[in-house]
Amino acid sequence: MATKKPEIITDKNQMRNWSRAMRSLGKTIGLVPTMGYLHEGHLSLVKQSHRYANLTVVSIYVNPGQFSPSEDLSSYPSDFDGDIRKLMSLSKGVDVVFHPANLYDYKTYKNSNDINDCKRSESGNTGSGVVSCLEEKGIGHETWVRVERLEKGLCGKSRPVFFRGVATIVSKLFNVVEPDFAFFGKKDYQQFRVIQQMVRDLDFGIEVIGSEIVRDEDGLALSSRNVHLSPEEREKALSISKSLFRAKCSAEKGQINCKELRGLVIQAINDTGGRIDYAEIVDQESLEAVEEIKSPVVFCVAAWFGNVRLIDNMEISIHN
């Protein structure tokens, strides 16, 4: 049975006023930040929020600050009406969907479509190696949040603006929504750890809670980008999760040499035509690469199938 339609708020001040009014009544608020095109992974975060908080806010906002000029912001899938229907299908639903047209203030901002017209090119790089769609448009956003060590490895190597953009937009969402709890999926493991570190370092009074990866029945990690995979590419992409599960099993049976485990996964992905971005075994806290598994680690993978970049990971703990 569908729940009632959530209140849809598009204005930052209105969102902040709603949260403060609810908190004045003694209510706790859970925030699920998303970029929309919701799937069961997102819905699992909403369900988790129901267990922790009195009220739940889902934000839907495709953040231009985490896309570089060479990445196709406009191709990110969107289905706002479908997202609302999915949220209403939950037994408790959500209280508010925060869906702003933009979360940045621009002196030269002309219309709501400007940010979606971000030019795709390698030009405009000022030499910093970190240029986003916002900067390429020259629209004046100057303040960024950096989590300097944790953002450098893994996805940060090939996407140098990504975590700066994520940390900045999540900070803005925290300042606008003022939640007590925030929920993030562990599929984006580095993102989860970056946000945890940011919250600790900047003294946000928010508990960041991670949720386990939600997979399709065949093992593929759910992602909004999966829609861009052809049936053949999707079948080949199963090599990521299958090889990660094999690596975990091998480690639990005594294979703790990370070079051997990485080779197993890299070979499996290469054999199905995937292109490896990275395959790294890192400490779960520091995200620093390890040579042998002696403490809890996470095996993180990013690979391309066709034009779609997929990420996945597997937490591994060895019990001596």
Cα 151 to Cα 188: distance, rounded to the nearest angstrom: 12
Does residue 2 surpass a pLDDT of 90? no
Does residue 23 surpass a pLDDT of 80? yes
Which residue of the set 42, 99, 141, 228 is catalytic?
42
DSSP label of 289: B
The model's confidence at residue 93, banded by pLDDT at 50, 70 and 90, is very high
Domains (ranges, CATH) in the chain? 7-211 (3.40.50.620), 224-314 (3.30.1300.10)
- Report, as an integer, the average pLDDT of 228-238: 97
Question: Which sign does the torsion angle of CA 115, 105, 79, 190 carry?
Answer: positive
Reported as type and span, the H/E element at residue 46 is helix 40-52
Please answer whether residues 295 and 238 qualify as being in contact, where contact means their C-beta atoms are separated by less than 8 angstroms.
no
Q: Which residue has the tokens 């209280």?
A: 95
The pLDDT tens digits of the residues spanning 282-306 come to: 999 999 999 999 999 999 999 999 9
The pLDDT tens digits of the residues spanning 244-284 come to: 999 999 999 999 999 999 999 999 999 999 999 999 999 99
Is 42 among the catalytic positions? yes
pLDDT score at 190: 98
Does residue 316 surpass a pLDDT of 50? yes
The pLDDT tens digits of the residues spanning 94-152 come to: 999 999 998 987 654 444 444 444 433 322 333 344 677 776 665 567 899 999 999 99
Phi, psi of 257 (to 5 degrees): -80, 115
**Helix ranges, 53-158 (H):** 80-88, 133-137, 155-158
- Report, as an integer, the average pLDDT of 168-180: 98
